[in-house]
Structure 1
Amino acid sequence: MRYADKLSQRLTTTGSRLCVGLDPRPDDSGGIEAIPELLKRVVGETWEYAAAFKPNMAYFEAMGIRGLEILEEMLGEMPKEVPVILDAKRSDIGETQKYYARSYFENWDVDAVTLNPFLGYDTMEPFLDWEGKAIYILAVTSNPGSADFQRQMVGDRYVFELVQDICARAKKEGRKTDVGMVVGLTNASDDVLGRIQDFPLLIPGLGAQGGDLENMAGKGRVAPDTINVSRGIMYKEMEKGYGQKAKEWADKIAAAYPCV
């Protein structure tokens, strides 16, 4: 089964595009040794509302070797029906990328990974022939600095449109791996979305970053887009349970951007 089909099935099951971000913070959680139990609780209480989970490598790497062990343990216990998108944003020359691909798709067996396309198409290729897997390439990120490069014009096209060409090329070549893009909700203006084709989108920027769900309304998209919430579930409104917060976000997302 292709990744896009697995994700589409999950969207149908949950009725929402919610992607639950897993960004563990030891300083806010009682220390590193409290993190495994925290992650078990978050995953266990939110999975029924989650179209996908997105662990962010930076938070696990910041905990050193123990953090990588925690990540590996968590990945081995994830619900199999929920796609896992590893937010790594890796970028390197092709030979190095081969080992990143093996690390994520073979050793950890995640469903998808985020990549930085700045080094070009050949550095994406080591990730493009994995059956049932996907990559999301950074196109329009959710930070203000996306205006420095991604939303600059080269001739009559934006840089993010050149990034989008990677998706189109991989599809034209019939690569086994599905290719989508990261498009931040905070910068998803009509001008941006009007130039984004119907490739799967991973959409951060909702919740703490202040993205507006109305940006996605009425765009006629049918790709299995997912909208990420991290801090809004793990570290906000702590008087509420993780499952309650996930359901509330799932309902808000479904109301503004229903699954077709």
Structure 2
Amino acid sequence: MRYSERLQARIETTGSRLCVGLDPRPGADGIEAVPDFLKRVVDETWEHAAAFKPNIAYFEAMGLRGLHIMEDLLGEMPKEVPVILDAKRSDIGETQKYYAHSYFAHWKVDAVTLNPFLGYDSIEPFLNWEGKGIYLLAVTSNPGSADFQRQTLADGRSIFELVTALGERAKGLPTDVGYVVGLTNTAGVLPKIPDAPLLIPGLGAQGGDLAELAAAGRSAPDVINVSRGVLYADDGFSFGERAKRWAERIATSYHESVA
């Protein structure tokens, strides 16, 4: 089964497009409390999650212990839920071969985020993995996406359209190619993005609005990431209750747009 098919099946099974971001921040109890914290998050939210997205930076910040925590976490994830590793790797092709092996063969994640700005040969090592996916950074959710990604070229295209051209070039290969598109920067962008899977940050704490995305009439298995709004909201709800509420909010936006 291709990655996009598995993700679509998960969305249909749960009725949810919520991607739960796993961004552990050691608190007063220190690093050794992190594994139990993450286990609670996963155990309570997986039924409402279309995908999980561990961000490798938060684990690397804990040193070698953090990488051990991530390895243990990945080995215990519910098999029903696709895992997107948020790594944003970018390097020459020879180095990328080793990143691809690490993530897909060793850690066995389902998809990974990549920075495509070294060009097509830098993503090629990720393109021949059956059942896997990659998400290329196209229009990110930070204000700095205006510095490069949304700039207009002399031929009228935006730079992010050069990114989507890489994905179109990879069609027919075993790995599915999708894009990262930040919900805070979708104005005028979505009509130019192919109907491929999107990983969409920017809801929750970043204040993105679902309306334009929901109205775009896309058929691809897009997922919307929420990290802080599930893990760290000071609202009295459990992780599972927060995930359920976010999943329902996203679903309602889609249903209202279709209606």
TM-score by length of structure 1 reads 0.97
Once the two structures are superposed, what CA deviation does each residue of 1:156-203 show, in whole Å capped at 9, x if it has no partner?
Answer: 1000001000110001xx1100000000000011x1111111011000
Of 213, 217, 221 in structure 2, the residue corresponding to residue 220 of structure 1 is 217
Q: Post-superposition shift, 1:30? A: 2.2
Q: Post-superposition shift, 1:237? A: 2.5
Residue aligning to 1:229: 226
> Could you tell me which amino acid in structure 2 is paired with residue 177 of structure 1?
T
Residue aligning to 1:159: 159
Of 179, 189, 192 in structure 1, the residue corresponding to residue 189 of structure 2 is 192
Residue aligning to 1:4: 4
Rounded to whole Å, the distance in 2 between the matches of 1:214 and 1:237 is 25
Residue aligning to 2:181: 183
Consecutive unaligned residues in structure 1, runs of 5 or more? none
Rounded to whole Å, the distance in 1 between the matches of 2:72 and 2:193 is 37
Once the two structures are superposed, what CA deviation does each residue of 1:124-163 show, in whole Å capped at 9, x if it has no partner?
Answer: 0000000000000000000000000000011210000010
Q: How does 1:116-135 map to 2 (within 5 A)?
A: 116-135=115-134
Rounded to whole Å, the distance in 2 between the matches of 1:159 and 1:95 is 25
> Could you tell me which amino acid in structure 2 is paired with residue 183 of structure 1?
V
User: Are 1:149 and 2:148 an aligned pair?
Assistant: yes
User: Are 1:245 and 2:242 an aligned pair?
Assistant: yes
Residue aligning to 1:25: 25
Instruction: Give the aligned CA root-mean-square deviation in angstroms.
Output: 1.2
SS at match of 1:135: strand
Rounded to whole Å, the distance in 2 between the matches of 1:30 and 1:235 is 15
Q: Post-superposition shift, 1:215? A: 2.0
Rounded to whole Å, the distance in 2 between the matches of 1:215 and 1:45 is 30
SS at match of 1:157: coil
Rounded to whole Å, the distance in 1 between the matches of 2:249 and 2:113 is 25
Rounded to whole Å, the distance in 2 between the matches of 1:226 and 1:254 is 11
Rounded to whole Å, the distance in 2 between the matches of 1:201 and 1:141 is 11
SS at match of 1:88: strand
Residue aligning to 2:95: 96
Rounded to whole Å, the distance in 1 between the matches of 2:23 and 2:245 is 19
Aligned length: 256
Rounded to whole Å, the distance in 2 between the matches of 1:33 and 1:15 is 35
Rounded to whole Å, the distance in 2 between the matches of 1:237 and 1:132 is 38
TM-score by length of structure 2 reads 0.97
Residue aligning to 1:61: 60
User: Are 1:85 and 2:84 an aligned pair?
Assistant: yes
Rounded to whole Å, the distance in 2 between the matches of 1:257 and 1:105 is 32
Once the two structures are superposed, what CA deviation does each residue of 1:27-65 show, in whole Å capped at 9, x if it has no partner?
Answer: 3x6210000000000000000000000000000000000
> Could you tell me which amino acid in structure 2 is paired with residue 76 of structure 1?
G
Q: Post-superposition shift, 1:238? A: 5.0
> Could you tell me which amino acid in structure 2 is paired with residue 214 of structure 1?
A
Once the two structures are superposed, what CA deviation does each residue of 1:195-246 show, in whole Å capped at 9, x if it has no partner?
Answer: 1110110000010001011121221100000000000000012521000000
